[in-house]
Amino acid sequence: MKLEGARILITGGSSGLGKEMAKVLKNAGANIVITGRDADKVSRVASELNVFGLAADASLEADVLKTYVFVKDKLGGLDVLINNAGFGTFALLEDITAADLENVFKTNVFGAALMAREAAKIFKAQMSGNIINISSTAGRKGFAHGTVYAASKFALSGMTECWRDELRKFNVRVMQVNPSAVPTAFNVEDRTEKELQDNKLTPTEIAHAIKSMLEMDNRGFIPELSVWATNPF
């Protein structure tokens, strides 16, 4: 697809991976809406990047619906949904609580599904569109302390495959990106960005991977892409 003039919604777009995606895609000529839960931060980042920003929680159905009203008002429609909002908790199996499971799944799984539900309505009607789910290498291989987070990302992978089968006949490309460790504000309580590290990925690698996936001619698509740091040890 051509990114010039493309209409793109990025959830969790006010920091880390989402913010860099918005920056890279905006520089390529796209029109962007970012969402996030912190109203002040969303407003500040939207102004910095010259994109539209909306305070919205992807885990709340009312906020999902509010987001699409905003998108239609500001962009006039939608060509790309990037399901980026997500977080994790990392506890030993015996220390997991029901609240841990519920809170993570409400954003990483239920929120992503509700966002995609509304996007699918638009994309099927116009016979075109793109959904990119930001999963994780944790959604391909579990690890100690990763029960809740990995389970949510495995669930996202399963949903991605379902949506792909449902939507291909409507010319909708459903794709998934699995980053490995990227120092961001992810899982930081006060949402302060972590320091970048020379041997780890940066948000830029992920953003450029997504840009390349979208720029492929619409006759083809990359179903899934994992991005690893070369030597993170």
d(Cα 138, Cα 107) in Å, to the nearest integer? 16
Q: Is the dihedral of CA 13, 165, 6, 179 positive or negative?
A: positive
For 139, which DSSP code? Answer: G
Please indicate whether residue 68 is annotated as part of the active site: no
CA angle, corner 4, sides to 22 and 58, nearest 5?
35
Does residue 218 contact residue 173 with C-beta atoms inside 8 Å?
yes
* 3 state SS of 35: strand
- In angstroms, what CA-CA distances link 152 with 40, 47, 86, 112, 226? 28, 32, 9, 11, 17
Strand order in the sheet with 52-55: 52-55, 31-36, 7-10, 80-83, 129-134, 172-179, 224-227
Instruction: Count other Cβ atoms within 10 Å, centred on residue 102.
Output: 12
Tally the residues of the chain.
Answer: 233
Q: What is the CA radius of gyration of the chain?
A: 17
Biggest CA–CA distance in the chain, Å, is 50
| Catalytically annotated residue among 68, 149, 154, 221 | 149
Per-residue DSSP letter, 76: S
Catalytic center residues: 149
